[in-house]
Amino acid sequence: MKEVLIIYYSQTGQLLSILENMATKIEGNDVNITYFEIIPKPKYEFPWEKEKFYDSFPESFLQIPSDYELPAKHILDKKYDLVILGYQVWFLTPSIPINTFLKSETSKALLKETPVVTVVACRNMWIMAQEKMKKLLKDVEANLVGHIALVDRNINHISVITISHWMFSGRKDRYLGIFPKPGVSEKDIQNAERFGTPIKKALMDNEFGTLQNQILALGGVKVNPFLIMTDKRGNVLFSKWANHIIKKGAPGNPKRLKWIGFFKIYLLFAIWVIAPIVFIVFLLTYLPSYNRRRKDKIYYSSVALKENE
């Protein structure tokens, strides 16, 4: 009997649906699946109040751990043949609950020398968050063997509007009756079950060396070269903002909230003004940078971690 642990934090329930659909092709008489939901302390509300969402930015981006409820003893007492780790992206970074878990001693006990498949469901930019995830997994001596990224397929500016509507209202419907539904499409959520087949085969054969290539063949990762550039640039700028705001006190501090307000204005300006300019620059430099972008696409589609990272 193979033992699989699915670890997740799903604020809206979308990610859990994806993981459960994948599990339908993995679980059976020969595979037992255990779920471990990371429950942060205190819990993050959904829908989010706008002020609280933006006020979570510094701790999220700087990967400052918080607190969470420890897993039950029956989870800790098992040795797992595979861990599937589902996470969200907050401010270009794995969410605070996931980051908190991965920086705990418990994560090392569960993940050390264990094959791990990461699954991310997000709006569009996950590249640098996954690089941070690779480092976190390396720190606990886990063995990353696969990665799946399911994203909102709508164009960038449309998805900004629809995700904001969902996040702040709690309704996954058509904003104003004209915009598409937010998040990962229902079709992609249901079709996530297809990834379970190669994962189970790798698990039963105890051979994960080709798993990521099989995931890629099934369309499990789509790397957009423009978003690589945007994500990297965003991380540079977010670092400056986060390090400045964190010095203004704890969440809710009036001085801090003033700077959070400035950050919110900057973020809207970056999305609606800077991003289109960056896209024009990207197009103008596409051919001269083609070889580098091709190598980047191959690397970020893989489970490898650059040695200097």
Per-residue pLDDT at 285: 85
Tokens 């007492």 -> residue: 77
Cis preceding linkage at 42, omega within 30 = yes
Cis preceding linkage at 47, omega within 30 = yes
pLDDT at 255 over 70: yes
- The proportion of the chain whose per-residue pLDDT surpasses 70, expressed as a percent, equals 99
pTM of this structure: 0.95
| Domain ranges, ordered by start, for the chain | 2-222
Q: pLDDT per residue over 267-308, tens digit each?
A: 999 988 888 888 888 888 888 888 989 999 999 999 999 876
Instruction: Give residue 155's pLDDT band: very low, low, confident or very high (50, 70, 90).
Output: confident
Rounded to the nearest 10 degrees, how much is the dihedral formed by the CA atoms of 197, 203, 205, 208? 90
Q: pLDDT per residue over 107-117, tens digit each?
A: 999 999 999 99
Pairing, β 93-94 against β 82-87: unpaired
Per-residue pLDDT at 262: 97
Specify the DSSP element, H or E, that contains 85: strand 82-87
Q: pLDDT per residue over 271-282, tens digit each?
A: 888 888 888 888
Q: In CATH, what number does 2-222 get? A: 3.40.50.360
CA distance 269 to 210: 42
